[in-house]
Amino acid sequence: MNKSSVARQQGDHGSVLVFLHYFGGAADSWQWVVSDLASDYTCFVLNLPGFGSTPPLSALSIASYTQWITKTLESLGLSACTLVGHSMSGKLALSVAATNPDHINHVVLVAPSPPTQEPMEEAERQRMLNHPNLSEAIKTVKGATRAVLTEEQRSLAIATQLAVDHPTWRWWLTDGMNYSIADQVARIKTPVHLLASKDDPVIPFRPLCAELKKLIPHIQINAIKNIGHLLPLEEPKWLASQIKNIVRQKI
């Protein structure tokens, strides 16, 4: 991949796809998906503030992340794109689509954090607040997956988690994941697609579907089984094929 550390590009023709990573991930988390798409599409993969090598935001909020993503898309000269958001970034992608509907062709939610409140037991939240901590990072990756990761994927998932800016990490666990954007989401007219696993151990599939269907009646849902929460690492080929099918749809 080339471009800056904030926005990396792979592929230079076809429809534009922009990828936003999960909480604890980074741009590199998408590499196995993008490798299957770059021959047909122009792919931009972002390192969000506080993740990868991107400096953190001075003021942490869903709104500030939305503004940062919007400005980044503008700086790349993207008048329209398909926005793909995984987990935490699913909520962010919906917020971007709600505030910039004319610039988003499709929103693809990959095992997204719900628009309202992401479920998490308080004991699990307190465990994850012990950051950065190698042993806890290993537990987090193991607990989030159902498929067996390669050693390269596992090492990356642990390393990107440990590299997250500490205040950013705490913000998401204590505030961001609980902040509701339901009022914004209900206004979205852009086509929205959900790609998730029925066996996701982090964000339960059925409650997620029920909430999204209520807020976005036109949402299209495609699911897989026996895979965990980290779909871009666990089942990248399935994810890439689903994204191809979505992009081919007429708007």
pLDDT tens column, 154-169: 999 999 999 999 999 9
Segment 19-52, tens digit of pLDDT: 999 999 999 999 999 999 999 999 999 999 999 9
pLDDT at 105 over 60: yes
Question: pTM here?
Answer: 0.96
Place of tokens 């890439």: 240
Q: What superfamily does domain 2-248 belong to in CATH?
A: Alpha/Beta hydrolase fold, catalytic domain (3.40.50.1820)
Q: Does 13 have pLDDT greater than 60?
A: yes
Amino acid 71 reads K
CB burial of 97-109 (b: ≥16 within 10 Å; e: otherwise) equals bbbbeebbbbbbb
**What distances in angstroms separate CA 6 from CA 20, 70, 71, 165, 250, one per listed residue?**
11, 13, 12, 15, 30
**Measured CA angle at 188 (ends 185, 190), to 5 deg:** 135
Q: Give residue limits of the domains in the chain.
A: 2-248
Length in residues, the chain: 251
Categorise residue 111: left if φ over 0, alpha if ψ from -120 to 50, beta otherwise.
Answer: left
